[in-house]
Each structure stands twice: as C-alpha cells, then as structure tokens.
Structure 1
Amino acid sequence: MTERLPLSAVLITLNCVGPLRATLDSLRFCEEIVAVDSGSTDGTIELLQEFGAKVIVEEWRGFGPQKQFAIDQAAHDWVLCIDSDEIVSMELRASIETALIQPAFQFYEFPRSNRFLGRYLRHGEGYPDLSLRLFDRRQARWSDDIVHEKVITLGIVGRLQGDLLHHSEDNIEIYLAKQNRYTTLAAKALIEEGAQVPFAKLLFSPFFRFIKFYFLRGGWLDGTPGLIHILIGCFNSFAKYAKMIEFSRR
C-alpha cells in the first residue's frame, strides 16, 4: 500500500467518558491522538490514556481558542479535529487515508450524520451538516469564537465521501441543557460584538427555520425524531434572540 502522510487526531474533552470509547476506537488508524482536557473527573482522562492518547490538562478558553490550542500540541501537520461524541465511519476512514496519500487540497470537509432519538437523521438540518475537520494546520486555524467556532482557510476546500457519525444526546433533558448553554454563549457573544437586538428575527426566525428544514429540506422524512430535532432548533433560534434582549437590558 502506498504510504500516506501521518495524521494526528485532535479533540477537546470534559467529562465525556460515556460516548468517548467508541470515538477513540474509530481513531485507531491515526498515528497520534491528542486530547486537551479542561478538568474531567469521570474517568475521561484514564480512558484516553488507555488508548495511548497524549493528554494535556488546560483551563477552558472557549471552543475556538481551546481547539486551536489543541492542534498546536499535535506532532503532525495534518490534523483531524473530532468531538468526543463523534465516530469516524469506515467509509470516511477510507476516504481520509486515500486523500492523505497525495492531498489534492489543504482542507477537507465531509458530511456529518446526527443520531437523535435512536435514528441517524438524513434530511432537514441534521444532514449533510458538512464539517471541515481535516486540514493542514500550517494553512488553517480555528477562529477565536467561544461558540459556533469554525476553521478559517484561504483556498478551495475538498470534499470526502463517508459520514462522521455524531451521537447527539438521546436523552432530551440532557440535549436541551446543552442547547441552553450554547444559546447563552451565542447571545452573549453577539451582544459583546455590538449586535443590535433583532426583534424581527425573534418573531420570524423560528417560523422560517421550520419551513426551510422541515418542508424544503425534507425533514419530515426523518419521522418523529426529525420533527422533534427541528422544533428544538427553532426554539433555540428564539431563545438566542430572547437572551440577547435580556442581556442588552442588564
């Protein structure tokens, strides 16, 4: 087999031992696993060490800065950034290994399939959810956003076949708690940037979001899990703008 470029898998962790074993198991093809942990107490660090990961304990900086710090710790220039509740499918693994034999691009994105209430969503806002996670760290970096972080690139992004499998919380209570944190962070970030309170978006964004993802993007094809997933997303949109109003009045 033709030799490919070495790859570092990079992730950030905090008390995520539940889904982490499947994630790490799917990363065995990588030459290195680097994890930056911000204070786990549930066995996460011990599990990472069991898989031979390089573990760095670092105080939380926000999603973008934390992920950038993590890739800076990698031994190899090509990095695969993955969350602790994501699994690299066999088809995606094959695509990654083929691409790294002779990379045609410096950055690659691929579909992410969200598992929700026991079902992988294939329509609506749950798919294809293209995610740029494989790149040459010398040519790209994570943004400084504390939430909704993104990889900043200058150049054409290639696309790989195969899904990154995202195991969203099957427990709706836990899933809602996570979404509550994300909308708070997003609202605070917008206020700090000087964004105006969008009263029109407060009223109409959830409605148009539902039309787009449930009807136009075929979310109804994902059955009840798809409907619930989209409705929560619509409420998240409302909650973010409502929190902006609250924060602006403090």
Structure 2
Amino acid sequence: MPTLPLSLAVITHNEADNIARCLDSVPFAAEKLVVDSGSDDATVAIAQAHGARVVQQDWLGFGAQRNFATTQCSHDWILVLDADEYLTPELAAELQQRLPQLMASDAPAAWLRRSTIYMGAPMRWYRPAVGERLARLYHRERARWTDARVHESLRFDGIAPTLRAPFNHVNNPTLVHKQLKVLRYSELKCRDWLERGKPVRMWQTPFVYALAFLKDYLFRLACLDGWRGFIIAHTAASYAAYKRLRYYEMRHNPESVARAAHILTHHGIDR
C-alpha cells in the first residue's frame, strides 16, 4: 500500500495484547513510532515485528509523554492512537483520500470520531462512546499537548476539519482493568491538584457523584444501553467521587502520597 508522510505515534506500557492491532490498522503511515515506558511484557518485540521504531522513555505523565513522542517523530503530520485503539477500514480509507489535501493546507489539526467497545460489544447510545470527537491528527508545529499528568488535550488555534468515519476504542477488557485505571488516573489527577493548591471541598462529593451519574445515565443516554449503560455511568460517577476522597486524604495526611505511590508501583499501576 502506498505510504503517506505521516507518523503514527503510540505511547505504551505493557500493551502486548493490543499493540499489533493498533499498528496494523494504519498501513499507510510512513513511520510507526512507539514510545515505551519500561514494558516488561512482549510489547516492544511485538511492536518491532509489526514495523514500529521503539524509543524508550521513562514515564513523564500523559501530556508530557505525548509531547516527547512528538519530538521523536520523523514527519510533521502525526496521528496519535492509544494502544487499545485502532482505525476502522472506513476511516483508513477516508484518511488515505483526504490526507494529501489536509497536509497541503494550513490546518493545524483534524478531529476524529471515536466509537467505544465496552464489555465486548459496541456502545449504541451513550454519547461519549458513540462518535466522541477527539483531536488526534495534527501538525507538530501548529499544535501541542497540554502537560497534564492525565486527561491531556491537544491545543491549537484555527479551524480543523472533522473526519466522518470513526476509529475504535476497546475500553477496559474487564471491570478489574477499569478499577485499576481509576486508581491510577485518580492519583495522577490528585497530584496535579496538590501542586496547584486546589481547595478541599469534601461537601461537594455526594453531589458530584449524583450529578455525574445523572449526567451520564440520563442526559448522555447511557440508560438506553441497558445494564452496560448503568455500569458505565456508575463507574464514571464513582471515579469523580473517589478523586475527591483521595485528595482529601492527600491534604490531611501528606505521608499517604509517597506510601500510595510505593504500593501502586509495586503492583505495576503507577509508573
């Protein structure tokens, strides 16, 4: 298949189950770059076997890790995917058709739509899991990732087109994976809050849970996805509440920051 002057950039840590599918879904990328943060499974070997150049970099946080990956790419236009994401054939075909014109323009980036596979099947109604719009394709001199430890976003000025076909996200193969991710993401977010000196407002916690659940379950239509929708709304609301509980603990028992980091690292959750 003809290649285009595009770098696919993927950040990884122990993604042996996912990385091949991700890399193989972008056959037209002239470069496939994997920035790995010390995987102890077969991630690196599999990535190399599927045509990727692997660079090792200790974990910097999501935003900083993506910005580092940007500096390692050989091409100005970069497509970013997570290891558990992959292009659909429809999006791959659309990108091949539209990329030459996009690359010749002054556009800073392009929006892609993401569909989520949850508990083994696509979500049909839950709004964030059906056609969620994300900026994942960009010119590295016209866009930059925020430096947030978690929930980073791509920042740019100007108008960016939106592609029609979606890419897929295999969201947490089990609820166990989801809960481990909640622990990790909460810890990263709370460290950001701690650095900024965010006030502790524990009284908000029960309201945060209730409002987050109602937002996802009713207003974002998770209720139409049956029990899977209930579960996804509950886990999202629990995450919103747990972050505040953990931040309260960090502020009132600063020793817990180091102790939690130790136990999370020991179990391979933190990096």
Same fold (TM over 0.5): yes
| Separation of aligned partners in 1, 2:203 and 2:139 | 41
Partner of 2:184: 181
* CA positional deviation for 1:65: 0.8
Which one of 100, 105, 108 corresponds to residue 106 of structure 1? 108
Question: Which moved further from structure 2: 231-240 or 161-170?
Answer: 161-170
User: Identity, % of aligned pairs?
Assistant: 32
Question: Which moved further from structure 2: 99-108 or 144-153?
Answer: 99-108
Within the alignment, does 1:28 sit opposite 2:31 as a pair?
no
Tell me the TM-score normalised to structure 2 length: 0.87
| Separation of aligned partners in 2, 1:58 and 1:131 | 25
Question: Which moved further from structure 2: 199-208 or 136-145?
Answer: 199-208
Which one of 216, 219, 226 corresponds to residue 219 of structure 2? 216
Which one of 116, 119, 144 corresponds to residue 117 of structure 1? 119
More relative contact order, 1 or 2 (CA 8 Å, 6+ apart) = 1
Aligned residues: 249
* CA positional deviation for 1:200: 4.2
Within the alignment, does 1:205 sit opposite 2:208 as a pair?
yes
SS in 2 for 1:112: strand
| Separation of aligned partners in 2, 1:21 and 1:5 | 20
* CA positional deviation for 1:199: 2.6
* CA positional deviation for 1:150: 0.9
2:37·2:57 contact (CA, 8 Å) conserved in 1? yes
Structure-2 change in CA distance of 1:163 and 1:111 (3 Å): same
1:92·1:163 contact (CA, 8 Å) conserved in 2? yes
1:119·1:225 contact (CA, 8 Å) conserved in 2? no
1:114·1:166 contact (CA, 8 Å) conserved in 2? yes
Within the alignment, does 1:72 sit opposite 2:71 as a pair?
yes
- Letter in structure 2 aligned against 1:145: A
| Separation of aligned partners in 2, 1:200 and 1:215 | 24
Tell me the TM-score normalised to structure 1 length: 0.94
| Separation of aligned partners in 2, 1:52 and 1:170 | 25
2:3·2:29 contact (CA, 8 Å) conserved in 1? no
| Separation of aligned partners in 2, 1:19 and 1:224 | 26
Within the alignment, does 1:55 sit opposite 2:57 as a pair?
no
| Separation of aligned partners in 2, 1:15 and 1:45 | 9
Partner of 1:92: 91
